[in-house]
Structure formats: C-alpha cells, structure tokens
Amino acid sequence: MPLYEFECARHGAFTLVRPMSESGRDGPCPTCDVAGRRVINPPTLLTMGAPARDAAFRNERSRHEPRVSRSGCAHASPATKAADRASAARRDEPPKPKLQAYAGPRPWVVEHR
C-alpha cells in the first residue's frame, strides 16, 4: 500500500499507509483524530544531486528503450582493441597462483597457493 502525506491544522504533517481506493479521502490525524487534508509534494528528483538524478533517468530510459547491439559482436570496436592491447601486456606478467581445494575439515574452503 502506498504512503500518503496529510497535514493537520494543529499538529502539522503526518504520513499514513492507505489503500489506493482511499487516496482521495482526508486522513485522520494520529494525535487528535481530526481529518487532515492530503498534501501533494513535488518529486525528490528536484533535490537530488546530479549523479543520482542522471542514474535515475538512465534507469528509467533503459526500462523502456534497452540498448541493442546492431552488429552482433563488437570485435572491431575501439574499446575491444584497447582491451586486447591490455590483455597482451598482461601476458608478460607472472602467472597468478592457482586455487586448490582445502583438504581440512571444511571442504568448501578454497585456498590460494
């Protein structure tokens, strides 16, 4: 059930959880039980920082318009070429230690050796 904000003339703002079918009705103040008028506030997007706001817009946009690859794989893209150069540079590094199963009382433990 959604949260609705109301305002009592004596006690100020309060929030109630109500079914959507009762969204248009006034809500009783939890302190004095007098009917309070519903308050509609602007969305919090106006007060968000730029990175959070951009992330929210990107999330909503991708919900309806997901990115689709048009050419299948991206072997010739500049990002892939840069990744290939980086992996070639890593080949000169010493090999990483292999993971081995633990032979002790806890067989699910994996050790780095």
Domain of residue 43 covers 1-62
Q: For residue 83, what pLDDT is reported?
A: 67
Select from 10, 30, 9, 8 the least CA-distant residue to 18.
Answer: 30
Domain annotation covers residue 104: no
What number of other Cβ atoms are within 10 A of residue 38's Cβ?
15
Start-to-end C-alpha separation, the chain: 53
Residues of the chain scoring pLDDT < 70: 45, 62-113
Domain annotation covers residue 74: no
Could you report the per-residue pLDDT of 22-43, keeping only the tens digit for each? 888 999 999 999 999 998 877 7
The whole-model pTM stands at: 0.39
Q: Considering its fold, how many domains does the chain have in total?
A: 1
C-alpha distances (whole Å) from 4 to each of 18, 31, 33, 51, 93 are: 7, 17, 16, 28, 59
- Rounded Cα distance, 41 and 89, in Å: 55
Domain annotation covers residue 38: yes
